[in-house]
Amino acid sequence: MTNYEYLSGLNNAQNEAVLYLDGPLLIVAGAGSGKTKVLTSRIAHIIKQKKAYPSQILSVTFTNKAAKEMGNRVSRILKNEAVGLSWLGTFHSICAKLLRKHAAAVGLNSNFTIIDQDDQIRLIKNICKGENIDIKKLAPKYILSIIDKWKNKGLYPDQVNINKKDLYEKIVLPIYKIYQKKLLDLNTCDFGDLMLHCVNMLENNKDIREIYSKNFKYILVDEYQDTNFIQSKWLNILAENNMNICCVGDDDQSIYSWRGAEIKNFLEFDKIYENTKVIRLEENYRSSENILEVASKLISNNQNRVGKNLKSTLAKGDLVTLNCYKNGKDEATGVGDQIENDLKKKYSLNNIAILVRAIFQTREFEERFLKVGLPYRILGGIKFYERAEIKDCVAYLRLIHQNKDNLAFERIVNNPKRAVGESTIKIINEHSKKNSTSLETSSRNLIELNLIKPKAKLGLTFFLNLLEKWRNDLKNKNTNHVKLLQIVLDESGYSALLKNKKDIENENRLENIKELLNAMKEFDNLESFLDHVALATSIDQDWQGEKVNLMTMHSSKGLEFDVVFLPGWEEGLFPHQKSIEEKGQNGLEEERRLAYVGITRARKKALISFSMNRFYQGDWIDSMVSRFIDELPEVNLEKNTFFQENTEEDFEFNQDYEAENEIRSPGWARYQKRIK
C-alpha cells in the first residue's frame, strides 16, 4: 500500500497526512512545508485505494489558479484515473454548479446570471436614487461591503440584527432588502449569493442535502485559515454524513480578517468536528534556518494560535539584516544601492521583492528605481503616478500651469461631478476643432454665446472661475506648488469627495495623495515637478527581462523569492495604527501574522529596515521603531547601524552616510535604550 511513487518523496508527517483517511483531519501546514504536495498526494491515494471515485471527492481552493495547479498535479500522478474529478474548484465555482442544478429551491431559474461588481454598483445606485440616499456621502462600494459582510455571516435581510450604534447599518438594511428582491426579479445573483443561497438550499431541503453529503465521501480544503462563517457552515453541512473532511492551512498566515476571514474556524476545528486528528507539517523546504528562526520567534508572541515548531531543512544561511535609515528617501536609496551594487550580481531581479505594509510606500522606491534605471513591477497594484487619484491631481496642476492642456481639461472638468456631462464636452470639443482653440477657451466662448445648457453652464463657469483663482494663487509668492495642490483639492471638492464618501478604498487614495504632496516638496516649483511626472510616466516601464518586485505584504501571500526587503517597520505604520485602534489585541496579532508572512516569503535573504524620520502629511515626524523588532532573536540578526555604546556622538550610519546632528532623533534614542 505504501509503495506508490507519489509517497516516496514525503517526510513522515506528510506521509501520515496522506495515509490518514478515516475521520476529520486538520493539517497545520507551516510556511513552505509542502501542503499542496500533501493535498494532491492525498487525492491520488484516496482514488488509488478505491476509497472513493473521483466524482465523490470535493476539493476546495480559494483561487482558480490553485484549483488548476492541484488538478494538473493529480492528473500527472494518476493519468487516466483522474478523469471525473469534477468537484475540484473554488468555493464560488462549486456553489454555482450546485445552484445550477437546484436553482428553483432558492427562487431562481437554472439559467440565472452572476453579476460583477460594476453591475452591483449600478443596481445600488438606482436603488439609492429611488430611496433619496446621497451616494456622495454613502458610496455604493461601501454599501456593498456591509451587504457582503452580512452575506458572509449567512444573513438574509430579515435575519439581520443591526448594530443600533452604527448609523450606516440602519441606512443599508432597507437597501439590502430592495437589492435582494431586485436580484431575484432579474434572475441573477452576486458572488455573496452563491454561498448564501447554496447554504440556504442545503439547510432547507433535506433531500438535496442528503444527495451531496452522502456523495462526497472525502472533502479537502486548502487555506482553511482564510474561510469565513458561511464557507465553514457550508463545509460542515456537506461533511455531516461521512465526516471525512481534511482542512489544510496555517493559522499563523491568517491575514484577511478585513475581507471576512475568521481565524476561529481554524482554531476551533476540533470543537466543530469530534475526534479530529491534528497533524503538523513542521519541516520547511523554502527558507534558510536563520530566516525561519526569526519568523518563528516573532510569531510565538501571538496567543491565539494552534502552535507548531517549524524547522528548516536548509542550511543556516545569512543572518537576517536589520537596517536603520535617516528617512524614507534614504531607505529607498539604500535598498536600491544594495540591489544594484551587490544583490543583482548573485540573484535574478525576478527573485528580489520589496514588501511594504501600505501601498503609498512604493512611491519613494519607484522614484529611486526610475532615477537609477532599475527595472521594477508592481504586483497586485498600479504604479504610483498611474493611480487614478494621482493622475487627477496632476491633471489639475497641468491645466493650471498650461491652459491649452486639453487632455487635462477633459479629465477634470467634471471631476468631481459639476453637471458637465458627455454631451456638453462634445459641444466644447466640436467648437474647439472648428475654431482651433483650446477646450478651456472654447468653454469660455460658448458660455459667452449662451450655447451651454443652464445647469452645465453653472458648473462649467464655477470650474473656470476656480482655474483663474488658482493661477492667481500661484502667482502669489505665499502660495507654492505644494500649497496650491492643497487649495485645489479643498476648493474643487475633491478632498470632500474622498473624505465624505464612506468607501473602503478611499483611505488608500487619501494616503496616496498625502504621499504625492510629500513628493512635490522635493521640487522647487510646479514646472520642475510636472517635468518629473512626465518623465516618470513616459519611461517604458514594461521592459523585457528581469524586474524587482514591489508589492504589499498582503499581495505576497503564496509567493516566494530569494531576497525579500521589508521596509518601514515603524510604530503606526507597521503594526498599522488603524488595525490596533479598530481591533485591539486581535488587530495586533493579525499585524504580527502579516510580519510572519512577509519574512517567510524569503528563501535566502531577508532584510528588515526602519527610518528614524518620515515625512508624513506635510511634516517630519519622529519615528519609533516597530515593537516587532524587539521580538526578533538577536542571535539571528545582523544589525548594520548602531550607536557605539557610551559614545552617542559617534553615530555610524551604514558606513555610507555622514552623520548629522538632526538624525539623532528621540525615536532613535529610544530604540538604542531598548536594544542595549
Cα-atom radius of gyration of the chain, to the nearest Å?
A: 28
Concatenated DSSP letters for 392-456? HHHHHHHHHH-TT-HHHHHHHTTSS--S--HHHHHHHHHHHHHHT--HHHHHHHHHHTT-S-HHH
| Residue-level length of the chain | 676
What 3-state class would DSSP assign to 570?
Answer: strand
Residues 6+ apart with CB under 8 A from 188: 112, 113, 114, 115
Angle, helix 289-299 to helix 577-599, in steps of 10 degrees: 150
Pick the closest to residue 283 from 26, 561, 12 (CA basis). 12
For residue 588, give the H/E element and its range.
helix 577-599
Residue 160 Cα to chain centre, angstroms: 28
28 - beta bridge partners?
249, 280
For 309, the grid coordinates are 515548531
Catalytic residues: 35-36, 222-223, 253, 601
First to last CA, the chain: 58
Classify strands 113-114 and 188-189 as parallel, antiparallel or unpaired.
Answer: parallel
Report how far apart, in Å, the C-alpha atoms of 246 and of each of 31, 134, 618, 627 are.
18, 47, 52, 36
Backbone conformation region of residue 94, classed left if phi is above 0, alpha if psi is from -120 to 50, else beta: alpha
Cell numbers found for residue 209: 442535502
Q: Which of 288, 310, 286 is nearest to 298 (CA)?
A: 310
DSSP collapsed to 3 states, 190-207? CHHHHHHHHHHHHHHCHH
Tell me the helix, strand and coil percentages in the chain, rounded to 5.
55, 15, 30
DSSP assignment, residue 360?
A: G
- Helix runs in 205-351, H state only: 206-215, 229-238, 264-267, 269-272, 289-299, 328-338, 344-346
Q: Which is nearest to 602 in space by CA: 427, 354, 346, 303?
A: 354
Distances (CA, A) of 267 to 235, 250, 272, 298, 422: 16, 10, 10, 19, 54
Please, what's the b/e burial string for 91-104 (b: 16 or more CB within 10 A of its CB; e: otherwise)?
A: bbebbbebbeebbe
